[in-house]
Amino acid sequence: MSTAKKLNPRNFPRPPLCERTPRHLQVVWNGTVIADTKEAYWVLETHHPPTYYLPPSSLKILLAKSTHSSYCEWKGMATYHNLANPLKPSELIKNRIWSYGKPTEGFNEIKDHLSFYAGPWDCYVDGEKVEPQPGDFYGGWMTNDIERSTVKGGPGTWGW
């Protein structure tokens, strides 16, 4: 997507929109592609960069379910997943990937799809390395086409 046309998260819908995205998504860890797809969904919510949900078939490695969970007022109960570091199998990366096994109505398309925080691995949208949404609470992916001044997550933005 051209950087000339910015996506303004202030104008994203509330409740969020869940739809297919034609964008090519990759998750790369230590030079190894661990997920790759052009069949993902994105969720667009007011004041958030897109959160991407990749189909389970795009995953090149095995995950283990975590005991951690969280609740989203829009999508329902999220289950988190753990992943062994491919370079240090004894090192477990915990709760940086999540999914919805029983999403609420309107989000059925992302059932069992996986969403990755941007880190410790590198995440890419159409070949562009993303930055994590500020604050490490939300899981949005920041690309150059996102109007950053309207994104919540950083200091002073919790009341938006």
CATH code: domain of residue 100: 2.170.150.40
Q: Is the dihedral of CA 139, 143, 145, 149 positive or negative?
A: positive
> 100 lies in which domain range?
9-150
Q: Summarize pLDDT for 92-116 with one digit per residue, the tens.
A: 899 999 999 999 999 999 999 999 9
Q: Summarize pLDDT for 78-98 with one digit per residue, the tens.
A: 999 999 887 787 888 999 999
HSE toward the beta carbon, residue 35, CA cutoff 13 A: 30
The mean per-residue pLDDT over the stretch 10-37 comes to 96
**Number of folded domains that form the chain:** 1
| Residue 55 Cα to chain centre, angstroms | 12
Nearest one of 134, 155, 146 to 42, comparing CA atoms: 146
pTM: 0.93
87 inside domain? yes
159 inside domain? no
Which of left, alpha, beta for 132 (phi over 0: left; psi -120 to 50: alpha)?
beta
DSSP letter at 159 equals T
Q: Is the dihedral of CA 107, 63, 86, 138 positive or negative?
A: positive
| Residue 85 Cα to chain centre, angstroms | 19
